[in-house]
Chain A
Amino acid sequence: EIVLTQSPGTLSLSPGERATLSCRASQSVSSSYLAWYQQKPGQAPRLLIYGASSRATGIPDRFSGSGSGTDFTLTISRLEPEDFAVYYCQQYGSSRMYTFGQGTKLEIK
Chain B
Amino acid sequence: QVQLVQSGAEVKKPGASVKVSCKASGYTFTGYYMHWVRQAPGQGLEWMGWINPNSGGTNYAQKFQGRVTMTRDTSISTAYMELSRLRSDDTAVYYCARDTYYYDSSGHRNWYFDLWGRGTLVTVSS
A-B contact count (CB 8 A): 74
Could you tell me which residues of chain B, from 57 to 92, have a CB within 8 Å of some CB in chain A?
59, 61
Could you tell me which residues of chain B, from 80 to 126, have a CB within 8 Å of some CB in chain A?
95, 97, 99, 102, 104, 108-114, 116-119
Complex partner residue of B59 from A54, A88, A90, A97, CB under 8 angstroms: A97
A50 touches B110 (CB 8 A): yes
B44, B99, B111, B119 interface centre (most CB from chain A within 10 Å): B111
A35 touches B112 (CB 8 A): yes
A44 touches B119 (CB 8 A): yes
Query: What total of chain A residues lie within 8 Å of the partner, measured CB to CB?
Result: 27
A97 to chain B, nearest CB (A): 7
The 24 sampled A-B contact pairs (Cβ below 8 Å) are A35-B111, A35-B112, A43-B118, A44-B97, A44-B117, A44-B118, A46-B116, A47-B112, A47-B113, A50-B102, A50-B111, A51-B108, A54-B110, A56-B114, A88-B44, A96-B111, A97-B59, A97-B61, A98-B35, A98-B99, A100-B37, A100-B44, A100-B46, A100-B47
Q: A37-B45, A47-B113, A54-B110 are in contact. List 20 more A-B contacts (CB 8 A).
A: A30-B108, A32-B108, A32-B110, A35-B113, A39-B45, A44-B97, A44-B116, A45-B45, A50-B110, A51-B102, A54-B102, A56-B114, A90-B45, A92-B111, A96-B50, A97-B59, A98-B35, A100-B37, A100-B44, A102-B44
